Amino acid sequence: MHRFIRFATQQPQILIDITERVRAIAKESGVRNGLLNVYAQGATAAIMIQENWDESVPLDVVTLLRKLVPPGVWLHDQQDGNGDAHLKAGLVGPSETIPIIDGQLGLSTWQGIFFCEFDGPRSNRTVVCTVLAAT
């Protein structure tokens, strides 16, 4: 089963908690035990599992990546000025796979699923969710 989560982003770089939307897809699937893959379409976006209780954690992630991969110093910046966004997306990665256990996402108490925007704002971002049932 595939489902799509579509939304706009409002900031140049931000982590957006999509946990509840993904949880709803897992529930809709009816799968009791299996896997749910969450994949960000786009070369300047990523998916990350991180703490979602304290809003400072996503802000810290963005701050860390800005320090590690500053804008304006990459060869690709000569093309369209977003070389850092491509590198950040590559470091974090485009997807995460979460187990479905007894019909629930196998996340711990404080874990959430985040869409990572590194080249916003964007009017249309898409996350592909693929559910696989265990046999």
Q: Quick check: 31 and 22 in contact, CB under 8 A?
A: no
For the chain, domains (ranges, CATH) are 2-133 (2.60.120.460)
CB 65 within 8 A of CB 48: no
Give the 3-state secondary structure of residue 47. Answer: strand
Token pair 């996503």 is found at 58
Q: Where do we find the tokens 């300047």?
A: 44
pLDDT at 10: 97
Joined together, the tokens standing for residue 93 give 């990665």
Over the stretch 6-23, which tens digit does the pLDDT of each residue have?
999 999 999 999 999 999
The CA distance from 118 to 86, in Å, is 8
C-alpha 123/C-alpha 108 separation (Å) is 32
Write out pLDDT tens, residues 37-88.
999 999 999 999 999 999 999 999 999 999 999 999 999 999 999 999 999 9
Residue 135's pLDDT band, with cuts at 50, 70 and 90, is confident
88-115: per-residue pLDDT in tens?
999 999 999 999 999 999 999 999 999 9
84/80 Cα distance (integer angstroms): 11
Of 117, 135, 134, whose CA–CA distance to 126 is shortest?
Answer: 117
| Separation CA 40–CA 62 (nearest Å) | 17
